[in-house]
Amino acid sequence: MSTSGIARVTTAAAAVAAVVFAPLTAVAAPAPSHAIPGLVPDVAAGVTDLGASTATKTVLIMMKSKDERGLDAFLAAPHQPLTSAEYAHRFGPSEPAVARVTGWATDHGLKSAYQSGSHLVKVTGTADAVGAAFGTTMHDFRGPRGAFTAATAAGSLPSALSADVAAVSGLTASHRLFTAMSPNQPAAPATAPPDLNKAYDPPSSATGRGQRVAVIADGLQDETKQDLATFETLYSLPRVPLTAIYPDGTPANDADGNPEWALDTEYSTAMAPDVSGVTVYAGLKLEEAEITSATSRWVDDDTIKTASMSLGGCESDERSWATALDPVLKKAVAQGQTVFVASGDSGSKCSNGGPIGVSYPASSPYVIAVGGTELSGNSETGWSSGGGGKSSFEPVASFETSAGGQFDGKSRGLPDVAAAATNYQIVTGGFPLPGSGTSASAPVWNGVWARALGAKPNLGFAGPHLYAVNRSAFHDITSGSNGDYRAASGWDYVTGLGTPDIARLINAL
């Protein structure tokens, strides 16, 4: 959810290997590398430099797969989902590569944390130590969206590590992301669970039993938990336990984000009322590094197969972030996990007020991008603010090559699917509130996919299945525009394949 378009983003792990703090031998690097994404500062205008930082700083180092080509080939072909252990053995970072990075960190006075099979190495130390390790200095800054600590000049890593590292996140200014939900004035009638059930025909026999759903978020989730219980009472829904996981420690309460996470949890579970729980993976802040960490924890845990993510940023601002997050999302696909990402609430334009453009991570070829419609009874039109269009740098997703319709096949096209996006009735802060956004559409699909997994647990990643089923499993939306594109018969850049007929979809899978 967001007040200005899709959010610009910056314990269930008992079966997962323990975090390791590794004091290993460092690698000499006479020729430092500045070319790794995430090392060049990007401090926006209107930001005040407050001077040298005394804070403790954590930076994420995203490791490459030991077999990048093999992983890409595996993902592009039909496959059975891998377990976390299988992924680590076949495609995870190599042990020597992790040892080189953690050894470099130790030799520079930093603590390193790594979970076996993960692509993420966290290095932590004082701002002075972090700055010295990366060959830069760390200052505190204050800007329109709050305070942060970042490098004042381009950082570097030893050239010997450049073959091991895909990206760095959290060293330079981390963009504050937007959520894709906007509160709106009360309207009658509001969209509520009974309306969605009437429009999308969920079967009585597949209700999500045996499944859990996840939500990627930020901030303290105590209020979200209370609001979910109130929402369930209001609509006579089963009580679904909410668990919050904070991979980087307990965050402060982010009141700005609470309506978004209320929407995500309430409609993920309303659409799959018999799920056994909803788990919110929450970062410390709504910024790229923190959301990467939360997403990585969901993927590394690999205990929940479907999630929603109602946040992002204009793709033109997020190229560096994509190099850090895409490896995590590729691992999710290999393990049969699906994240449904809101496509944005600024139509075919960028959420930063720029020209035509799409939102990331909705544009990643390793997620399902969810667009929006306006629902009136059983009639739907493409939502004028629903994000959609063509990626400027992400390749065509392997599963969308058969899209047809408007899809030109030159780059990643989105959205993949759609759902109602306007005038949802939620509970936030203990009170009913209407809200709109593709951040409502994404959790609807999170619940739909939980229903599908409850009926057919071995489906794996949703992408190939959604594009392979008979198109009668979708309501084809043929009217409405998001600015530069118009909904039309077949796949389009406003609503993708369309909205679900849930019973037909599950039968067709």
Per-residue pLDDT at 132 exceeds 90? yes
Q: Please report the pLDDT score of residue 352 as a whole number.
A: 67
Share of the chain above pLDDT 70, in %: 89
- Domain of 5 in residue numbering reads as 1-509
By CB neighbour count within 10 A (0-12 exposed, 13-18 middle, 19+ buried), where does 469 fall? middle
Q: Please report the pLDDT score of residue 378 as a whole number.
A: 79
Mean pLDDT value of segment 355-359: 90
Separation of first and last alpha carbons in the chain: 30
CA 218 – CA 176 distance, rounded (Å): 11
Q: Which residues does 73 contact at the CB level (< 8 Å), separation at least 6?
A: none
Question: Cα–Cα–Cα angle for 101, 105, 110, nearest 5°?
Answer: 150
Over residues 462-498, the pLDDT tens digits come to 999 999 999 999 999 999 999 999 999 999 999 999 9
CA 480 – CA 364 distance, rounded (Å): 25
376: domain CATH number? 3.40.50.200
pTM attached to this predicted model: 0.92
Per-residue pLDDT at 156 exceeds 90? yes
Per-residue pLDDT at 289 exceeds 90? yes
Over residues 88-114, the pLDDT tens digits come to 999 999 999 999 999 999 999 999 999
Q: Please report the pLDDT score of residue 44 as a whole number.
A: 65
Per-residue pLDDT at 19 exceeds 70? no
Q: Please report the pLDDT score of residue 5 as a whole number.
A: 38
CA 402 – CA 42 distance, rounded (Å): 38
Mean pLDDT value of segment 348-370: 90
Could you please report the per-residue DSSP string of 364-430?
-TTSEEEEEEEEETTEEEE-TT---EE-SSPPPPGGGTT--TT--SSS-EE-SEEEE-SSEEEEETT
Comparing C-alpha atoms, which of 249, 58, 283 is closest to residue 176? 283
CA 196 – CA 326 distance, rounded (Å): 32
Q: Which residues does 111 contact at the CB level (< 8 Å), separation at least 6?
A: 21, 105, 123, 124, 125
Mean pLDDT value of segment 325-350: 96
Mean pLDDT value of segment 297-307: 98
Comparing C-alpha atoms, which of 182, 218, 389 is closest to residue 293? 218
Count the domains in the chain. 1
Residue with the bigger pLDDT between 30 and 39: it is 39
Share of the chain above pLDDT 90, in %: 81
- Give 30's Cβ-side CA count (13 Å radius): 0
Q: Enter the tokens of residue 248.
A: 């980087």
**Residue 131 Cα distances to 39, 154, 387, angstroms:** 11, 10, 38
Q: Please report the pLDDT score of residue 47 as a whole number.
A: 87
